[in-house]
Chain A
């Protein structure tokens, strides 16, 4: 039930309260409440749980994690 998945924000409706929007999960679009991620922009990736964006994805951090794992490998091969 704590299942939460990342998706891309493709629409924001800030005129309503709470703020709503559309998020695409690999092409499947869902209506999502964006009220709790005030810094959200079109194109942002958010983590969605039971119809609510609960966190913004940080692209730099994501890259950093993967880089770390890749380097780990290189060290082993040396």
Chain B
């Protein structure tokens, strides 16, 4: 397929790997933000082909992984009600809550449906006026315009039976949280290309200079990632700390203004709790007051929830780059994709699932 196949080309990849090898003279640690990039890296074996001086650690860019446990429990509570059609992206269904996941609710007769787009949830609301349709609106800046549009449209259509359970998170505050941690050892970032298609990359410029760290906006195919790594390593070796754009075919400096405008109309920034990490100031979106009637947390009175995380799971440390999945004592033993203890073992973007699926079991010390 155009714009994909060229960026999976083995010859180009090899050239880039050779270049990287010739440039690296020091040990460096680079974090790729997005879970989609993590999967490309692990699946295509990029991490094994890089010089041993170069360490890739995996970032928090997996929306499914960072959705707080309390919200999963709320989703389970809402989805269990008889008057509800609960809609969600497929990935969320198997994420473990304190007691159960959404798939268990579905198996017990709950009307839980996987949708491809939030607009599908909106269609369900129009078709089923006697039911209340709730959409689990998780995601980063990439998904925010779509979810904003669903609420915007619901208001235009005057829908009274549609709401979203909102857990939107934002990338730059999470990067800042990682950088300001005393445990941090990340020296360069591959920024998430698709987040930047929407937001652009101006907001990274302050981050790069404040923490003196190179940030390279990077795409998702193997050639993209290798080129992103090469650009980052060159900066590191030369002592630069700039924002560069590898993913120029899709990302403009200012991002997608139409999308940003819609997001601004519907959402406002708020502090958000990230699963395994904790509260990060101004790191998420919530619905503006004008859209309060579409906020499932307002619509449904959910009793206080006592959350219980698995004591074995170290997902928070994995997602901040302090640990790798195989450093977790439960990895591949008590925690597998069939019986996940934490969200990164479930999601198609979770680092633990990537390591499990692509045979990194034997990495365990």
Beyond A1-B64, A57-B250, whether A52 also contacts B145 by CB under 8 A is: yes
- A2 lies within 8 A of B61 (CB): yes
Near A by CB (< 8 A), chain B positions 326-358 give: 347-349
Q: Which residues of A contact B117 (CB under 8 A)?
A: 33, 50-52
Q: Which residue of B lies closest to A45 (CB)?
A: B3
B91 near A45 with CB under 8 A, answer no
Q: Could you tell me which residues of chain B, from 237 to 285, have a CB within 8 Å of some CB in chain A?
A: 246, 248-252, 256, 258-259, 262
Interface residue tally on A, bucketed by range = 35 or more
> Which of A4, A26, A45, A66 is close to B194, meaning CB atoms less than 8 Å apart?
A4
> Shortest CB–CB separation between residue B222 and chain A, in angstroms?
12
Determine whether B223 belongs to the interface, using a CB cutoff of 8 Å to chain A: yes
Contact B142 A49 (CB under 8 A): yes
- Cβ-based interface call for A8 (8 A): yes
Report B-chain residues with C-beta under 8 Å of the C-beta of A36.
145, 149, 256, 258-259, 262
Shortest Cβ distance from A18 into B: residue: B149
Q: Is A69 an interface residue (CB 8 A)?
A: yes
A58 at the interface (CB under 8 A from B): yes
The answer, yes or no, to whether A15 is at the interface (CB within 8 Å) is no
Interface of A is mostly: mixed
Tell me which residues from 23 to 78 in chain A have a Cβ below 8 Å from any Cβ of chain B.
Answer: 25-26, 33, 35-38, 45, 47, 49-52, 54-55, 57-59, 61-62, 64-66, 69-70, 72-73, 76
With contacts A25-B1, A38-B258, A47-B194 taken as known, whether A65 is within 8 angstroms of B249 at the C-beta atoms is yes
Q: Within the complex, what minimum Cβ distance (angstroms) separates B360 from chain A?
A: 21
Are A2 and B258 closer than 8 Å at their CB atoms? no
What total of chain B residues lie within 8 Å of the partner, measured CB to CB?
A: 55
Which residues of B have CB within 8 Å of A8? 2
- Contact of A47 with B250 at beta-carbon distance under 8 Å, contacts A66-B12, A69-B16, A76-B15 already known: yes
Q: List chain B residues, Cβ under 8 A from A70.
A: 12
Residue contact B259 to A1, C-beta cutoff 8 Å: no
Give chain B residues whose Cβ lies under 8 Å from the Cβ of A35: 149, 258
Interchain nearest-CB distance for A28 vs B (Å): 10
Residues from chain A with a CB closer than 8 A to the CB of B120 are 51
Cβ contact within 8 Å between A57 and B249: yes
Residue of A nearest to B141 (CB): A2
- Cα-based distance from A26 to B5 in the complex (angstroms): 11
A65: which B residues are within 8 A, CB to CB? 227, 246, 248-249
Enumerate chain A residues within 8 angstroms of B71, measured Cβ to Cβ: none
Q: Report whether A49 and B143 are in contact in the complex, using a CB–CB cutoff of 8 Å.
A: yes
Distance, CA A31 to CA B230, complexed state (A): 37
Bound form: Cα–Cα A5–B140 in Å: 16
Q: Are A52 and B149 in contact (CB under 8 A)?
A: yes
Contact of A55 with B256 in the complex, beta carbons under 8 Å = yes
Shortest CB-to-CB span from B340 to chain A, Å, is 16
Alpha-carbon gap, A28 to B245, bound state (A): 30
Taking the closest CB of chain A, its distance from the CB of B282, in whole angstroms, is 20
In angstroms, Cα B2 to Cα A49, docked, is 17
Closest CB of chain B to A39's CB: distance in Å? 9
Those 7 A-B pairs whose CB atoms lie nearest each other, nearest first: A51-B117, A55-B197, A62-B249, A61-B248, A6-B3, A26-B1, A52-B146
Seed contacts A45-B3, A65-B248; 5 additional CB < 8 Å A-B pairs: A36-B258, A51-B116, A55-B197, A65-B246, A65-B249
Binding site for B on A (CB under 8 A): 1-6, 8, 17-18, 25-26, 33, 35-38, 45, 47, 49-52, 54-55, 57-59, 61-62, 64-66, 69-70, 72-73, 76
Could you write out 22 A-B pairs with CB less than 8 Å apart?
A1-B35, A1-B63, A5-B1, A5-B4, A6-B4, A25-B1, A33-B149, A35-B258, A36-B149, A50-B117, A51-B116, A51-B117, A52-B117, A52-B149, A54-B146, A61-B249, A64-B248, A65-B227, A65-B248, A66-B12, A69-B15, A76-B19
